[in-house]
Amino acid sequence: MKLSGFKTAIFLSILISLAFISGVSADTAINNVCEINKSGIYYLNNSITSDSGNIITITCSDVVLDGNGFYLDGNGVAEGGIYANGVTNVTIKDVTVQGFRYGIYLKYVDNSTLENNAANLNELVGIYLLNSTNNIVTYNNGSDNHLYLVLENSNNNTITNNTANSNGDYGIFLDSSDNNTITGNTANSNADDGIYLEHSHNNVLTGNTASLNKLTGIDIWYSNYNELTNNTANSNNDSGIYLAVSDNNVLTGNTANSNDDCGIQLDGSINNTFTGNTVSSNHENAIYMLDSYNNTFTGNTANSNEYGIDLDGSHNNTFTGNTANSNGDYGILIYDSENTALINNVFNESGMHIQSESNISAYWNTHTIENNTVNGKPIYYFKNNVGGTVPTDAGQVILTNCSGMNMENLNLSNTTTGLELGLSSGNNITNVTANSNFWEGIRLYYSDNNLLTGNTLMDNSNGISMGDSDNNALTGNTLMDNSNGIVLGTSNNNILTGNTANSNGKYGIYLSGSNNNALTGNTVNSNNKYGIYIMYSNNNNITENIANLNYYGMYLENSNANNIFNNTFNNTDNFAILNSTNYWNTSAKNGGGNRWFSNGTGFSETHFDYDGDGFCDPYYTLDGNNIDYLPIPLDPTTHSDTDVPDVTINSPIETTYYVNNIEINVTASDNISGISAVIAEIESFKNITLELDGDYYLGNTGNLSNGNYKITINATDWARKSNSAESVNFKILTPEIYDLTTENNENIGLVSIFVDEDILNFTYKITEPNWSISEIHLTAFNESPNDPASMWYNEKYLTKNGKVKTFYFNEEFDPSAFEASGTINLTEIPVDPSSKLYIAANAVVRKDGVKKFADAWANGTSISDRTDIMYVEYPLE
C-alpha cells in the first residue's frame, strides 16, 4: 500500500521520535542502544558498544532480529547484549554478543529461536533461558564465558548443533528443566563439566560431544528419566558420564573413553539402564558404582581400562552380555555388594573378584553368576556347596560358604584371582597352577581348615594370600616371580611347611597381625627385599627355614615372643629388628640356634665352638632385646684355646672414694675364643656381672657402707678358662651433709663433713643465688653443748653476746666466696677422735654484697639458751 506524501511525512516523524525516545518500529536498521517494542523485522546496521544496561531490549512478540554478522560489546561492564522478557515468537540470529554479564537473556520467552549467534567473553552466561519453553537454540557457539548455555526452569526446548567450548565453568547447564531435547551439541575443553543436569527430568540427549573438559563430560545430578543416546564423552579430566542420585535414566550407545577417572560413574543412583555403551581406555574404572541399586547393564563394552567394573556397596544390579577385555586388575569387582547377577559376560586377560572387609555372608553367597567366561574358559562360582569337585576346564573359581570341595589339576591363569575362597572351610586345593593373575594366585577370605598342597603360583601380585583365615595348612607349594610369595593378614594358627617362595619382588613370606603360626622347612631365597617379614605378629614358630640371597633375611617390626631357631640366613642383611623382642634359640641341643652366613663374614663363619657344646662361642647379640644364645657354627669341630684371658682393672683404683657407689671398669680380652663373662667379686659377699660396652666391661659396686674393700675380677673365655688374679683395695668414705641455714631459717647452702685418719674435713657451699661467704668458723667437742657437764657449758665457751668464744678453725674471705673448705687435726685439739663429735659450723654470709649480712650454721640442734646457735652430731665408727 502506498502512503500519500503527507501521511508519509507524519509516519516518518513519529518513527524518528520513537527511536529517539526509547525504541524503534518494524523493518528498521538498528544503529544504537534501543528497545524493540513493536513487532517486525530488525537488523543491525553496525556493531554497537555500550558500558551499561542492555544494548537491545525486546518487549514485544513476533520479532526477528538479524545481527547481519555485527557484534554487540559491553566492554566487560554492561548488563546484557540482548534481553527479552515475557514475549513469544522471537528470532535472534547472526549476532555476536561479548563482554556482558549476560550475552543473550530470554526470560519468560516461549516459542522463539536463537540461531547462528556467538556469545563470548561474558561474565556470567553466554545464552540464558529462564522460565522459557518451546524454544529452539541451534547452531550457536560461544567460548570464554563463565557458563555458555543455561536453561533454568525451562522446559520443552530444543538445543541442537551448538558449540560450547573453552568456557570458564560449564558448557551447557540445565537446572530444574524438563523435557528438553539436546542434540548434536559440542561442549569441549570447559573448565568444569561439558554438559550438566541438575533436578532436570525427561530430557533427551542425543549425539552430543563433551570431551576434554576439566571435570566431567556429562554430569547428571538429582535428575530422573533422562535418555542419553550416542553421546561422546572422551578424554575428560574426571569421568566421562557421571550419575549422582539420579534414577530411571536410560543410556544407550554412548562412548566414554580415555577419561582420567572413570568412563561411567554412578553414585547413589537407582534403576538406570545401560545398553550398548563403550567405555574403554579410561585411567580408572570403566564403570564405577557406589551405593547404587537395581541398575541393568546389557551389551556394553569395557576394554583396556586401568580397572574394569567396580561395584562398591551396590546391590541388586544385573550385568548381561557385556564384554570386559584387557582391563587392569579386574574385569568386574563385587565389593560389599549383594545380589549381583552376572550372566553371559565375557572377560579376557582379567576376570572377576568378590571382596569384603567383613564376613557378612550376603556379600559372598547371594549372587547369581552363570555362563561367564574368562579367556574362553568357564568361570565357576559355587555357593553354599557341601562336597563336590570343580571341573578341570575352569578358567577361574570362586567358592563362597562351601566346604568339602576338591580343586585339583586346574590351570587358573591370566585372570584377576585364580582361585578365591570366601567363608569356606575344609576344602582341598591340590596341584593347581595359577600364574600371571593381576591379584592373587589363590586368595582366602574368612576361610579356615583348608589344605593347600603342591600348587604352583607364579607371576601374580601375591602367590597365596590369606585374610582372617585360621588353621589352614600350606604344604609344598611353589611361589616364584610374584610381587609377594605368601601373605598372611590377621590369620592365626596356620601351618606353612616345605613351601618354596623364591625370586619374588618384595616378600617371600609376609605376616601382619598374625599369631601362633608355624613356619617350618620353607625356602625363601633371592627375593628382592625380604625373605621373611613379620609385623605386629606374636608367638609364631619359625624353624628350619632357609633364607638366602635376599636383601633382608628376617625383618621383625613390633613383633614379640616369636620362636626363631634352626634357620639358615645368608643375605645382604640377615636381620632387621624394630621394637621387637623374640627368642632365637631353644635348649642346648643340635639345632638350638640359627646359622648366620654372609660371604665368609657371617657370625657362624667367623666364630667357633671352643667348649664342645656344638654352638658358636660367644652368643650372637642381634640387638639389646634379641640374642641367639646358641648360634650354629659353620665348622662343627671343637677348637682349642689353652690361654686364660688378660684382665686390667681400670676402676676402682687404690684410693679413698667419697661416694658410696663406684663405677667398675675392666678391660678383658682373649685373642682366641673370646670372653664369655666378666664378674666382679667384692669381699666375697657380692658378685656383679659386668656388661660389655664398646671396649670395656662396665658395672657399679652398688651402695657400699663406709669402710675398706677388696674387689676381684674373674674373666672367663669361651673355652671355660678363667683369670681371677686381678684385684684392687679401696676405701669408701662418704661425708655427712647438713643444710647451711641463716638465723632467719633460710637454707642457702650445704656443709659436708667427714673424718679420715683423725683429720676432720669440711666444706661450705652456697647453693642459692645472691649469697656468698665472708668467714667460716668451726669447733668440735665430745660432749653436747647442752650437757651441763660438758666443757663447753662449764667453761663458758659462749660470750655474753652468744657467739662461740673458741673456734678451732677460722678463715676470712675478701672478696667473698661461694665455696670454702678446711681441715682440723683432731689429735691437736681437746677431743677424743674415736668418739662422737659435736660440731658447731658457722659462716658469716653476705647477701647482695652486704658484708656480715647474717650468721649461718650447719642446721642441727639449737643451744638451749641461745637458739640462734646450732650444732650437729657427727658419728665416728
Question: Is 748 found in the same domain as 704?
Answer: no
Give the contacts of 565 (CB within 8 A, at least 6 positions apart): 542, 543, 583, 584, 585, 586, 591, 592, 593, 594, 630
Mean pLDDT of 732-756: 90
Cell 536498521, located at residue:
29
Instruction: Report the C-alpha gap between 240 and 237 in whole angstroms.
Output: 8
Query: Would you state the pLDDT for residue 1?
Result: 31
Q: Do the beta carbons of residue 257 and residue 240 sit within 8 Å?
A: yes
Q: Binning pLDDT at 50, 70 and 90, where does residue 25 land? A: very low
Question: Is 693 found in the same domain as 790?
Answer: no
Question: Is 855 found in the same domain as 750?
Answer: yes
Q: Establish if 73 belongs to a structural domain.
A: no
- The secondary structure of 406-434 as a DSSP string is EEES-B--SSS-SEEEES-BS-EEES-B-
Q: Do the beta carbons of residue 234 and residue 210 sit within 8 Å?
A: no
Q: Establish if 30 belongs to a structural domain.
A: no
Question: Is 756 found in the same domain as 863?
Answer: yes
- For 604, phi then psi, to 5°, come to -70, -20
Buried b (16+ CB within 10 A) or exposed e, 571-596: beebbbbeebebbbbeeeeebbbbbb
DSSP β-bridge partners for residue 29: 43
Query: Would you state the pLDDT for residue 4?
Result: 34
- Coil, strand or helix: which one is 252? strand
Q: Which residue has the higher pLDDT, 802 or 152?
A: 152
Buried b (16+ CB within 10 A) or exposed e, 781-796: bbbbbeeeebebbeee
How many degrees, rounded to 5, is the angle at CA 197 between CA 86 and CA 84?
15
Q: Say how many C-beta atoms besides its own lie within 10 A of residue 819's C-beta.
A: 13
Cell of 46: 553496525
Pick from 678, 713, 732: which residue ends a domain?
732
For the chain, give the percent of residues with pLDDT over 90.
Answer: 73
For the chain, the domain total comes to 2
pLDDT in tens, 433-479: 999 999 999 999 999 999 999 999 999 999 999 999 999 999 999 99
Rg (CA), the chain: 48
Pick from 732, 752, 775: which residue ends a domain?
732
Query: Would you state the pLDDT for residue 718?
Result: 76
Q: Establish if 704 belongs to a structural domain.
A: yes
Question: Is 658 found in the same domain as 728?
Answer: yes
Question: Is 726 found in the same domain as 745?
Answer: no
Q: Binning pLDDT at 50, 70 and 90, where does residue 852 land? A: low
Instruction: Report the C-alpha gap between 261 and 60 in whole angstroms.
Output: 48
Query: Would you state the pLDDT for residue 806?
Result: 63
- Coil, strand or helix: which one is 791? helix
Instruction: Report the C-alpha gap between 204 and 227 in whole angstroms.
Output: 5
Query: Would you state the pLDDT for residue 827?
Result: 87
Query: Would you state the pLDDT for residue 620?
Result: 86
Question: Is 777 found in the same domain as 820?
Answer: yes
Give the domain CATH number at 704: 2.60.40.10
Question: Is 782 found in the same domain as 689?
Answer: no
Q: What is the domain extent for residue 666? A: 646-732
Q: Establish if 845 belongs to a structural domain.
A: yes
Q: Binning pLDDT at 50, 70 and 90, where does residue 206 land? A: very high
**Amino acid letter, 135:** N
Instruction: Report the C-alpha gap between 106 and 132 in whole angstroms.
Output: 7
User: CA nearest 443: which of 463, 414, 472, 423?
Assistant: 463
Q: Say yes or no to pLDDT of 704 above 80.
A: yes
Q: Which residue has the higher pLDDT, 797 or 67?
A: 67
Least confident range of 50-64, 768-782, 797-811: 797-811
Taking each continuous run of H as one helix and of E as one strand, the counts in the chain are 4, 85
Question: Is 864 found in the same domain as 742?
Answer: yes
pLDDT in tens, 338-348: 999 999 999 99
Mean pLDDT of 806-813: 81
Q: Which residue pairs from 563-569 have beta carbons closer than 8 angstroms and sit at least 24 positions apart in sequence?
A: 564/594, 565/591, 565/592, 565/593, 565/594, 565/630, 566/591, 566/592, 566/593, 566/594, 566/632, 567/542, 567/543, 567/594, 567/595, 568/594, 568/595, 568/597, 569/531, 569/594, 569/595, 569/596, 569/597, 569/602
Cell of 168: 570458564
Give the contacts of 689 (CB within 8 A, at least 6 positions apart): 677, 678, 679, 699
Question: Is 859 found in the same domain as 752?
Answer: yes
Alpha helices in 543-699 (DSSP H): 603-606
DSSP β-bridge partners for residue 14: none
Q: Which residue has the higher pLDDT, 836 or 1?
A: 836
Query: Would you state the pLDDT for residue 408?
Result: 98
pTM of the complete model beyond 0.85: no
Q: Do the beta carbons of residue 583 and residue 560 sit within 8 Å?
A: no
Query: Would you state the pLDDT for residue 447?
Result: 98
Question: Is 802 found in the same domain as 727?
Answer: no
Mean pLDDT of 105-117: 98
Pick from 714, 732, 750: which residue ends a domain?
732
For the chain, give the percent of residues with pLDDT over 70.
Answer: 93
Query: Would you state the pLDDT for residue 877?
Result: 62
Q: Establish if 142 belongs to a structural domain.
A: no
User: CA nearest 506: which of 546, 533, 488?
Assistant: 533
Mean pLDDT of 278-298: 98
Q: Establish if 580 belongs to a structural domain.
A: no
Q: Binning pLDDT at 50, 70 and 90, where does residue 10 land? A: very low
Q: Binning pLDDT at 50, 70 and 90, where does residue 24 land? A: very low
pLDDT in tens, 579-636: 999 999 865 554 578 889 888 888 888 887 777 778 877 778 899 899 888 888 877 7
Q: Establish if 598 belongs to a structural domain.
A: no
Least confident range of 501-515, 607-621, 688-702: 607-621
Query: Would you state the pLDDT for residue 792?
Result: 55
**Amino acid letter, 324:** A
Does residue 788 have a cis peptide bond before it, meaning omega lies within 30 degrees of 0?
Answer: no
**Average pLDDT along the chain:** 91
Instruction: Report the C-alpha gap between 452 and 605 in whole angstroms.
Output: 37
Total residue count of the chain as it appears in this document: 877
DSSP β-bridge partners for residue 138: 115, 160
Query: Would you state the pLDDT for residue 16?
Result: 34
pLDDT in tens, 253-271: 999 999 999 999 999 999 9
Question: Is 724 found in the same domain as 744?
Answer: no
Query: Would you state the pLDDT for residue 424?
Result: 98
Instruction: Report the C-alpha gap between 65 and 45 in whole angstroms.
Output: 11
Mean pLDDT of 231-241: 98
Query: Would you state the pLDDT for residue 795?
Result: 46
Q: Establish if 692 belongs to a structural domain.
A: yes
Cell 556482558, located at residue:
100
pLDDT in tens, 525-577: 999 999 999 999 999 999 999 999 999 999 999 999 999 999 999 999 999 99
